């Protein structure tokens, strides 16, 4: 198996309303890359959120009393805390400088995935902008996939990824938050291993594995590579959704 991850070059700074499928197609054309069945395009959450207009000016946010009280405990801006509360189902952990929540989309993350880095909106330096996650990343991925397949006439997959920390390890890694056509979970139970042992519990978080690999190419700071092309993914494409990767609450040992 050869897995190839190729960054798409010359991607412009994304603005609200931009057509990410068209931008991807143009980048592929400029690079002389040909489409093949099974290709996967991986997008950073940030450019999807920007294209969907998920920028919020903190000057427009009025914090509730609950947000003000939590902000004091967590040592964060009360306006940011108000947005975190609006984007969350449940607060799981807090300490100075950090709040862990169950996001309204169902996964656990810090600060409800709200981002301050590499975010710029209209206005002068007094404007304070943050970026929320897409409203429905699976739907966003499906829409981009549909547009790409209509134009390239091939069967492709699309992933939207973000950087998340983990309860049991240091450091952030890329994880999938929206998928279309890419299997999230691959069930290997019933298959034989090298020594003819029948696997009983093995399920592979294939989308997250690919997200982590793509994140290495994209980078975590300047983020100048927001779209990558993947070829050689070892599992067949199929209909999918993020739900298959989300651990049910009753199976979550860290809550």
| Displacement of CA 186 from its chain's centroid (Å) | 19
Which tokens sit at 13? 């700074």
pLDDT for 121 beyond 70: no
**pLDDT class of 115 with cuts at 50, 70, 90:** confident
Interval 37-49 mean pLDDT = 97
User: Is the CB of residue 191 less than 8 Å from the CB of residue 198?
Assistant: yes
Residue with tokens 């609950």, as numbered in its chain = 66
More confident residue, 6 or 224: 6
CA 174/CA 86 separation, integer angstroms: 24
pLDDT of residue 29: 96
174-220: pLDDT as tens digits: 999 999 999 999 876 556 656 565 555 567 889 999 999 999 999 76
CATH superfamily of domain region 55-131: CofE-like domain (3.90.1660.10)
Name the CATH code of domain 4-49+135-245 (choices 3.90.79.10, 3.40.50.300, 3.30.1330.100, 3.30.1330.10). Answer: 3.30.1330.100
pLDDT (tens digit per residue) in 200-210: 556 788 999 99
Task: Tell whether pTM > 0.75.
Answer: yes
C-beta separation of 140 from 160 below 8 A: yes
Residue 12 burial (C-beta neighbours within 10 Å; 0-12, 13-18, 19+): exposed
Sequence spans of domains, the chain = 4-49+135-245, 55-131
């Amino acid at each position: 198996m050869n897995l190839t991850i190729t960054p798409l070059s010359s991607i412009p700074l994304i603005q609200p309303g931009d057509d990410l499928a068209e931008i991807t197609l143009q980048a592929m054309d400029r690079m002389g890359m040909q489409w093949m069945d099974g290709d996967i395009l991986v997008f950073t959450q940030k450019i999807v959120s920007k294209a969907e207009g998920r920028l919020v000016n903190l000057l427009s946010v009025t914090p509730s009393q609950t947000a003000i009280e939590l902000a004091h405990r967590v040592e964060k801006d009360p306006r940011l805390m108000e947005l975190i509360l609006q984007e969350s189902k449940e607060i799981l952990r807090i300490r100075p400088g950090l709040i862990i929540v169950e996001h309204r989309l169902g996964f656990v993350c810090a600060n409800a995935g709200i981002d301050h880095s590499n975010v710029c909106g209209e206005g002068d330096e007094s404007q304070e902008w943050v970026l929320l996650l897409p409203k429905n990343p699976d739907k966003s991925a499906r829409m981009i996939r549909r547009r790409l397949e209509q134009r390239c006439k091939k069967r492709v997959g699309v992933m939207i990824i973000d950087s998340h920390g983990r309860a049991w390890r240091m450091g952030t890694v890329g994880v999938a938050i929206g998928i279309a056509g890419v299997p999230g979970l691959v069930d290997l139970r019933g298959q034989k291993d090298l020594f003819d042992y029948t696997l009983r519990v093995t399920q592979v978080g294939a989308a997250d594995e690919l997200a982590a690999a793509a994140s290495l190419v994209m980078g975590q700071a300047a983020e100048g590579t927001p779209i990558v092309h993947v070829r050689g993914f070892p599992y067949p494409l199929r209909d999918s959704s993020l739900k298959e990767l989300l651990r049910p609450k009753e199976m979550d040992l860290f809550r």
